[in-house]
Amino acid sequence: MLGNRYQKKIEEFLTQTDIRLNGNNPWDPQIHNEDFYARVIAQGTLGFGESYMDGWWDCEQLDGFITRLLRANLHSKVSGWKQVLHKFLSLFINFQTPSRSFQVGEKHYDIGNDLYSKMLGKRWIYSCGYWKNAKNLDEAQEEKLDLVCRKLHLSKGMKVLDIGCGWCDTAKFAAQNYGVEVVGVTISKEQAKYGREICKGLPVEIRLQDYRKPLGTYDRVVSIGMFEHVGYKNYSDFFSVVANCLNDDGMFLLHTIGNNLSKTVTDPWIEKYIFPNSMIPSAKQISTAFEGLFVLEDWHNFGVDYDKTLLSWFDNFEQSWDSLKDKYGERFYRMWKYYLLCCAGSFRARHNQLWQIVLTKNGFPDGYHSPR
């Protein structure tokens, strides 16, 4: 009877959508374990994701299911006690201190270059592609890198700092195509190792360090897909670090996922299994943090492109699974599928955004004209 009551409660929530439990549409979830309902009510989104990993439910069109849930704002109506506790603690604890900053590298970025080589495409770029004129993922990532370089007005001989340089394809692209010198910093040992290999012979230096360590002075600073690991208690310090690294006529481009609401925690399932100590910033949090340090020159939102990027990553992952499954196993497959397709659904629902923000220390005297 108790399980039946929980099922009715979830069915009540779903009346705001066209989702039906065990329905016939591809976005309808098929429930294999009746304990699913109580688990979701008790544990919220953490139990929702873990129950999928455990095989308690399936969905033919998982991304479509998540899109519909988010458009109806149902995720906010189910919160487990762990979510409430984590939100309370985040008000007092800095979860993104220098001593904790390497955890995401160990947990996520260092899990296996074999996985990322199969998933990310020709260039190992683990951030949103720019699909305006692109026909496929590789083109979208090339277009994104060139867009970044053009927005920064890069020219030969400039010194560039890349905070959160990933597997260093951004540094390599800028050095090869724009003749700049690049210093890249990362908290991932595997990223640093790979980056040093692919950048041999180029004016590129890769450092394994936290961004709060001394960095030097540069003409330009870029940060792509790293700000999501900074944490709201450190946003102001981050922008102060960037300002101190720039020459007076310097420019900074920030590429980050954005949240429609200001929050102090991330989704507990993402926190536990994918990105520990992560947090998606809001526009208010970002602009408040750089106020008094920078002039805002441009704010570009192309979040709808992340849906395409994530689906391309999933297609690559799916097609390569036979060569990966012996190492990673079935539960990892379900975890990674859930991660990629839920994120795709989130961007499709416009629940999350993707922003490129261009800042200068003193403003362009004749105004800044941004490429698109």
* Pure H helices in 251-354: 268-273, 283-290, 304-348
Which pLDDT does position 98 carry in this prediction?
65
DSSP state of 261: S
Candidates 129, 101, 207, 118; CA nearest to 162 is 207
Average pLDDT over residues 2-9: 79
Higher pLDDT, 137 or 14: 137
Which pLDDT does position 1 carry in this prediction?
46
Active site residue 128: no
Helix or strand holding residue 161 (H, E): strand 159-163
Catalytic residue selected from 128, 165, 342, 343 = 343
Q: Cα 43 vs. chain centroid, distance in angstroms? A: 24
Where is average pLDDT lowest: 5-19, 46-60, 205-219, 341-355? 5-19
The 10s digit of each residue's pLDDT in 43-88 is 889 999 999 999 999 999 999 999 999 998 876 655 554 554 444 4
Q: Judge whether residue 101 has pLDDT over 80.
A: no
Q: Judge whether residue 22 has pLDDT over 90.
A: yes
Class of domain 98-360: alpha beta
Which pLDDT does position 156 carry in this prediction?
97
Candidates 174, 280, 281, 167; CA nearest to 221 is 174
Which pLDDT does position 201 carry in this prediction?
96
Q: Judge whether residue 184 has pLDDT over 70.
A: yes
Nearby residues of 22 by Cβ (< 8 Å), 6 or more positions away: 28, 29, 30, 31
Residue 4's pLDDT band (cuts 50, 70, 90): confident
Residue 90's pLDDT band (cuts 50, 70, 90): very low
Which pLDDT does position 266 carry in this prediction?
87
Ramachandran bin of 279, using left for φ above 0, alpha for ψ from -120 to 50, beta for the remaining angles = beta
What CA–CA distance (Å, rounded) separates 99 from 90?
17
In angstroms, what CA-CA distances link 132 with 218, 251, 345? 30, 24, 20
Which pLDDT does position 79 carry in this prediction?
55
What CA–CA distance (Å, rounded) separates 278 from 275?
6
Question: What are the residues facing 256 on neighbouring strands?
Answer: 355
> What does pLDDT average to over the chain?
91
- Residue 296 has φ and ψ, to the nearest 5°, of -80, 120
Strand pairing class (295-301; 352-360): antiparallel
| All structural domains of the chain with their residue ranges | 2-79, 98-360
The 10s digit of each residue's pLDDT in 131-175 is 999 999 999 999 999 999 999 999 999 999 999 999 999 999 999
Asked if 310 and 341 count as a contact pair (C-beta separation under 8 A), the reply is: yes
Asked if 198 and 176 count as a contact pair (C-beta separation under 8 A), the reply is: no
Higher pLDDT, 100 or 17: 17
Which pLDDT does position 364 carry in this prediction?
87
Which pLDDT does position 74 carry in this prediction?
74
Structure tokens at 355: 């922003």
Tell me how many helices (H) and strands (E) the chain has.
13, 9
Which pLDDT does position 92 carry in this prediction?
46
CB-based burial, 258-282: b 16+ in 10 Å, e otherwise: bbeeebbbbbbbbbbbbbbbbbbbb
pTM of the predicted structure, to 2 decimals: 0.92
**Share of the chain residues as helix, strand and coil, in percent rounded to the nearest 5:** 50, 15, 35
Q: Judge whether residue 89 has pLDDT over 60.
A: no
Residue 106's pLDDT band (cuts 50, 70, 90): confident
